[in-house]
Structure 1
Amino acid sequence: MEARYTIHNLVWVAAALLFVFLVSALFLGAPREVSKGTETDVLGSPYEGLQLSARSAMVWDIALEKPLFEKNPEAQLSLASLTKVMTALLAEEALQKDAEIVVGKDAVAEEGDSGLLVGERWRAKDLIGLTLVTSSNDGAAALGAAATFGALPPGELEGEGGSMRTLMNEKARALRMTQTFFINPSGLDVSAGLSGAYGSARDFALLLSYALREHPSIFEATPYARRTFISLDNKVHNVENTHKTIETLPAIIASKTGFTDLAGGNLAVVFEAGPTRPIAVVVLGGTEEGRFSDVEKLVWATLEEISAQ
């Protein structure tokens, strides 16, 4: 009887110790990453309780190649003008920075007006910068044509982006962007029910990681609220960044906005959380204004998360 009592007590003591250990782990050492498809709900995480307008979000540690926060990261949603990052990347890979690009009439026929003129000549590097900063559909079309056909005057685009679409989708497959496919170089909605491109927050974080590693120069102009670009015809373009709140964020090294009726509000940024610690933040399917506050919340929560490590 006494032996049974002792064993019984030992069992309870062991159970109590296990409970204390588990509680301590929960409050002191619990992991702060999230399961795929959920927002952070781990007690003590800076991400806990964040209210986001975005349907999907990803905070990706580029250096460590791991997620810090996820919300429906694999959801396939409209990319809108985030598409232009792939367009700029392929133009960078296909052309010399000083290659001359001539704006064709099909490019200027794209929706929206960024001030480009038919026949206007550009250095590839400058047109990439203007296109990403202003989210120029004309610029994306001209870059797509040049990337497809080389640095000669592009002439007419083949259909809705022609063979540029093929190049974009081949690159997406090479980067293992499994939820991504492109229909045109700008991301403009094709119709009331068809977007110009689809992808996931995870996929876009992978694209940003690759682009920053291999071709960081495409983002050189994007951290600034205002920029001046001059074409080879000496036409001056004073432009404002479509990321209206970019000056409120710390250490931004890359930024791209996106908005269409189908997509809602999209925004992707990369910021330096420390030396050689780039962090990508991607939000998809938010509201036109909510995307900016979503990214701001995630940036500051991430800085708090990393400082606590």
Structure 2
Amino acid sequence: MPDQRSFRLAEHAKAAILLHANTGEILFEKNPHRRLPPASMTKILTALITMDLIESGKLGWKDRVSVSAYAASIRGSTMRLKQGDSVTVENLLKGMLIASANDASIAMAEHISGSVDRFVKGLNEKARALGLTNTNFVNPNGSPAPNHYSTAFDMAMMARELLEKQGTTTYSGVRSALVRKAGSPPYRLRNTNKLIGVYPGIDGLKTGYTKYAGFCLCASACREHQRVIAVVMGEPTRKQREVETAALLDYAFAASKKSFD
């Protein structure tokens, strides 16, 4: 790990980590194994399970999902789903990765497992299979709940797995995208990650915020085939989240350039 003594990275974050995704090298860490609420970064694991099923052929991009009354009732960040809407798996993934849609996460969980509880069991089994012992989820979207936690390290590992899936950054790396529900005109989703289109090379991955969790971000960026992942948790403001994430990415690319010069 590079010498961190002269740097004040992630100064305001409760926890942070910086990972060279190509090699797995940790470039910076601050309380990387501290258990904290991840807020909507939870959706990284929900998306990973969805992508696993697509990759295995058990789920299709164009499969249609019928939205339940429960999924439609979910509040916070949403893609404005209504009970009875018919939405493709692809559009639900767009909702999760672009707009951080809680309703899309619930609809996907119910479609995959038949119930949110069964899906959550699968989430935790997936975390254990990845060797992540400091993660426990009680819902698929990151709403505040007792015993719902992860760490900066665990979130980076989940992100690294998700970024291996074809199509991930197609959705997470855009500032906005059109989606369509059956029988309705298309409408636009806006990315909650405001570094998209601003920071060179950034192509994801997932924001998070609740009053309890603070401002969180798992960011991925790629330059000259070098991919890095930065995670900050518990930032005091949205602006601080963006500034400190950008500083981490700057540090990572500077370190990568030195390594490969």
Report the TM-score, using the length of structure 2 for normalisation: 0.91
Q: Which has the larger radius of gyration?
A: 1
- Aligned in 2, Cα 1:233/1:52: closer, same or farther, shift over 3 Å? farther
- Aligned in 2, Cα 1:89/1:51: closer, same or farther, shift over 3 Å? closer
- The question of 1:260 aligning with 2:215 is answered no
TM-superposed CA distance for 1:137, in Å, is: 0.8
Q: Name the CA distance, whole Å, in 1 between partners of 2:169 and 2:144.
A: 24
Number of the residue aligned with 1:106: 70
Number of the residue aligned with 1:8: none
Number of the residue aligned with 1:116: 81
- The question of 1:227 aligning with 2:227 is answered no
In the alignment, structure 2 segments of 5+ residues that lack a partner are 54-58
Code of the residue aligned with 2:121 in structure 1: it is T
Output one character per residue of 1:144-171: Cα deviation in whole Å (capped at 9) or x when no partner. Answer: 111213xxxxxxx4xxx21111000000
TM-superposed CA distance for 1:178, in Å, is: 1.3
Equivalent position SS for 2:149: strand
Q: Name the CA distance, whole Å, in 1 between partners of 2:141 and 2:149.
A: 12
Equivalent position SS for 2:139: coil
5 Å-filtered alignment, 1:63-102, equals 63-94=22-53, 95-102=59-66
Runs of 4 or more above 4 Å deviation: none
Q: Is the 8 A contact 1:98 1:123 kept in 2?
A: yes
Q: Is the 8 A contact 1:80 1:187 kept in 2?
A: yes
- The question of 1:208 aligning with 2:146 is answered no
Equivalent position SS for 2:163: helix
Code of the residue aligned with 2:152 in structure 1: it is A
Q: Of the candidates 276, 279, 295, which is equivalent to residue 228 of structure 2?
A: 279
Q: Name the CA distance, whole Å, in 2 between partners of 1:273 and 1:71.
A: 24
Q: Of the candidates 110, 114, 128, which is equivalent to residue 173 of structure 1?
A: 128
Number of the residue aligned with 2:246: 296
Report the TM-score, using the length of structure 1 for normalisation: 0.77
Choose between structure 1 and 2 for higher RCO, CA contacts under 8 A separated by at least 6 residues.
Answer: 2
TM-superposed CA distance for 1:51, in Å, is: 5.1
Equivalent position SS for 1:116: coil
User: Share of identical aligned residues, percent?
Assistant: 26
5 Å-filtered alignment, 1:2-81, equals 32=2, 40-41=4-5, 43=6, 48-50=7-9, 52-81=11-40
Q: Name the CA distance, whole Å, in 1 between partners of 2:72 and 2:98.
A: 17
Give aligned pairs, total. 252
TM-superposed CA distance for 1:174, in Å, is: 0.2
Number of the residue aligned with 1:21: none
Q: Name the CA distance, whole Å, in 2 between partners of 1:209 and 1:69.
A: 16
In the alignment, structure 1 segments of 5+ residues that lack a partner are 1-30, 34-39, 150-156
Number of the residue aligned with 1:15: none
Q: Name the CA distance, whole Å, in 1 between partners of 2:11 and 2:17.
A: 12
Q: Is the 8 A contact 1:115 1:237 kept in 2?
A: no
Q: Is the 8 A contact 1:88 1:143 kept in 2?
A: no
- Aligned in 2, Cα 1:251/1:209: closer, same or farther, shift over 3 Å? same
